[in-house]
Amino acid sequence: MLFLTGVSCVGKTAVGRRTADLMGRTFFDLDYEIEAFFNTSIERLQNRFLTPHSYRDEAAKALIHLLARPESRHSVIALPPSGLMGGYMSSRSTSCPPDFSQV
């Protein structure tokens, strides 16, 4: 698994898709996965919470769901700017321990 994270609108999706193509892997954009998982827009989902932290904890459920799917095992995943914070970080560390056999 390769995670891409960074500020908004820098091209994580474009770079992630291209990288996945070159590596022969599946690409996932967590923003899309969050919207599909909760069946609502990210903006509407964020409006349900008082703090960004509580939103990230809830949105991390979509990442946990994605990481449980077999096709995500060897994939490239674009994370939101907060991809190294809160619920996202804890869901990645518990759902996908490092696998150095592919390095």
- The amino acid occupying position 71 is E
Rounded Cα–Cα distance for residues 83 and 63 (Å) = 10
What are the beta bridge partners of residue 3? 77
* Domains, the chain, ordered by start: 2-92 (3.40.50.300)
- Say what the pLDDT of residue 102 is: 46
Contact yes or no for 31/80 (Cβ under 8 A): yes
pLDDT tens-place string over residues 13-30:
999 999 999 999 999 999
Using alpha carbons only, give the angle 84, 87, 93 rounded to the nearest 5 degrees. Answer: 70
Asked if 28 contacts 76 with a C-beta cutoff of 8 angstroms, the reply is yes
Read off the pTM. 0.77
Per-residue pLDDT at 8:
81
